[in-house]
């Protein structure tokens, strides 16, 4: 009986991997332009990191984590998101002792036990960034601009930034009391999750997708967090908006946007696409570093799903992100040319050219068809005559032009052609 992959996981095959690599390369280029360095944290962490950092009232911790006890009787969890692990690494490696602001990005697999659906698997890939060490509103604006530029750099269009402030430890408790007072008379009309949230973290009721809960929020007159911001949070939020306007980042204030993680403070945002919903988002988390055992340090970051971004990219650009094309396909006309063909093939590869050949002993006609299927620019044919003359017969598959080039000059000729094409 065939053993199949677990539900909610995918095999990414070579044809798709080329697209993934193109997306990752674009993202890394944008992160580097903003002077962010890549960090790679463990795929599993101690469970308490997520319980403390992400929040026990979140759906992630209460319902979706892959948690197990290892052979040392320790509770271990496959990482469900990236921020907590990055902050743990920041504290454990004492990056807070280095001068300046720490700017990090990551790309890697995450794990959540939820109902698999298109663009949302149980093992999914996430990209994101974290900035630690500054509370300036200009940093918020930079990170939001970076989030947008990562996506526009892929060629995505129709991106909309929704912005809000979720307050701080000063104004949140006052807002919490007002929410409880407004919603308690309607508690039985809330969904089971929101009834629990009313006691623990009523702000997150705004994040509920249940229509009955949305109606309760409307008729109860429950205040949005913007109505309860303290003066410092209000001033910070205003400065973020002014900075975004100044650097040309369009946005819309959404006073019901709260995000699904407990660690957020002040600025929170999501990037949406019509017909696709939210594809990325983030926020400030000024208390998270201290929560995981570090010094009081402000932080801010964002994350997005790779699969979600690629689905939108495929829809907007027809799915043809990139092709795993060749610069040259070496065709072997006779067995006697095997040695020369391999020497030419390896010389091309060592020079940085994308090169391949046939290993099935097929006819020259079949080899040319294979070269065309692989999107090769040139076919370099070697046979008895080429071996005798130390030459190579080159054919440009796009123009049909053919010429004979000395074997010693072939690699440089192909490099020149590849350079002019790019």
Would you say residue 88 has pLDDT above 90?
yes
| 327, 414 Cβ separation under 8 angstroms | yes
**Conformational region of residue 285, where left means phi above 0, alpha means psi within -120 to 50, and beta covers everything else:** beta
Would you say residue 184 has pLDDT above 90?
no
Whether CATH 3.40.50.800 fits 328-421: yes
Would you say residue 120 has pLDDT above 90?
no
Q: How confident is the model at residue 323 (pLDDT cuts 50, 70, 90)?
A: low
Would you say residue 90 has pLDDT above 70?
yes
Q: How confident is the model at residue 417 (pLDDT cuts 50, 70, 90)?
A: confident
* CATH code of the domain occupying 14-170+230-317: 3.30.930.10
Q: Where in the chain is the domain with CATH 3.30.930.10?
A: 14-170+230-317
For residues 12-51, b (16+ Cβ closer than 10 Å) or e, as one string?
eeeeeeebbebbeebbbebbeebebeebebeebbebebbb
- Please provide the DSSP assignment of 339-402 as one string: HHHHHHHHHHHHTT--EEE--S---HHHHHHHHHHTT-SEEEEE-HHHHHHTEEEEEETTT--E
Q: Residue 35 pairs with which residues in a beta bridge?
A: none
Average pLDDT over residues 208-232: 86
State pLDDT tens for residues 378-388.
Answer: 999 999 999 99
Residues 154, 334: Cα–Cα separation, whole Å: 45
Residues 305, 286: Cα–Cα separation, whole Å: 24
Would you say residue 422 has pLDDT above 70?
no
State pLDDT tens for residues 261-270.
Answer: 777 899 999 9
pLDDT score recorded for residue 383: 93
Q: How confident is the model at residue 365 (pLDDT cuts 50, 70, 90)?
A: very high
pTM, rounded to two decimals: 0.82
């Amino acid at each position: 009986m065939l053993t199949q992959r677990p539900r909610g996981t995918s095999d990414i095959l070579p044809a798709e991997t080329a697209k993934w690599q193109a997306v990752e390369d674009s993202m890394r280029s944008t992160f580097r332009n903003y002077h962010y360095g890549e960090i790679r944290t463990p795929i599993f962490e101690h469970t308490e990191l997520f319980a403390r950092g992400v929040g026990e009232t979140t759906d992630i911790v209460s319902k979706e984590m892959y948690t197990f006890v290892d052979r040392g009787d320790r509770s271990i969890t496959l990482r469900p998101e990236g921020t907590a692990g990055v902050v743990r690494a920041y504290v454990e490696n004492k990056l807070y002792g280095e001068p300046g602001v720490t700017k990090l990005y990551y790309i890697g697999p995450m794990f959540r036990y939820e109902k698999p659906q298109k663009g949302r698997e149980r093992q999914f890939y996430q990209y994101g960034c974290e900035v630690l060490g500054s509370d300036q509103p200009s940093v918020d604006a930079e990170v939001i601009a970076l989030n947008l530029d990562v996506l526009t750099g892929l060629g995505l269009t129709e991106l909309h930034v929704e912005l809000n402030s979720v307050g701080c430890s000063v104004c949140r408790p006052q807002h919490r009391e007002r929410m409880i007072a407004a919603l308690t008379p309607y508690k039985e009309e809330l969904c089971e999750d929101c009834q629990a949230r009313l006691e623990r973290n009523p702000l997150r009721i705004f994040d509920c997708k249940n229509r009955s809960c949305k109606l309760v929020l409307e008729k109860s007159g429950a205040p949005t967090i913007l109505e309860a911001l303290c003066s410092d949070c209000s001033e910070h939020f205003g400065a973020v908006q002014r900075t975004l306007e100044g650097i040309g980042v369009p946005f819309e204030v959404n006073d019901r946007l709260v995000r699904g993680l407990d660690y957020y403070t002040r600025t929170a945002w999501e990037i949406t696409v019509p017909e696709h919903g939210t594809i990325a988002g983030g926020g400030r988390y000024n208390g998270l570093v201290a929560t995981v055992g570090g010094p009081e340090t402000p932080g801010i970051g964002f994350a997005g799903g790779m699969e979600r971004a690629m689905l939108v990219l495929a829809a907007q650009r027809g799915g043809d992100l990139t092709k795993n094309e060749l610069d040259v396909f070496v065709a072997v006309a006779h067995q006697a040319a095997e040695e020369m063909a391999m020497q030419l093939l390896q010389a091309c590869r060592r020079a940085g050219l994308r090169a391949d050949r046939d290993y099935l002993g097929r006819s020259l006609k079949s080899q040319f068809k294979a070269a065309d299927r692989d999107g090769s620019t040139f076919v370099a044919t070697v046979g008895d005559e080429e071996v005798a003359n130390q030459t190579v017969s080159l054919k440009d598959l796009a123009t049909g032009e053919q010429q004979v080039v000395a074997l010693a000059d072939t690699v440089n000729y192909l490099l020149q052609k590849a350079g002019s094409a790019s």
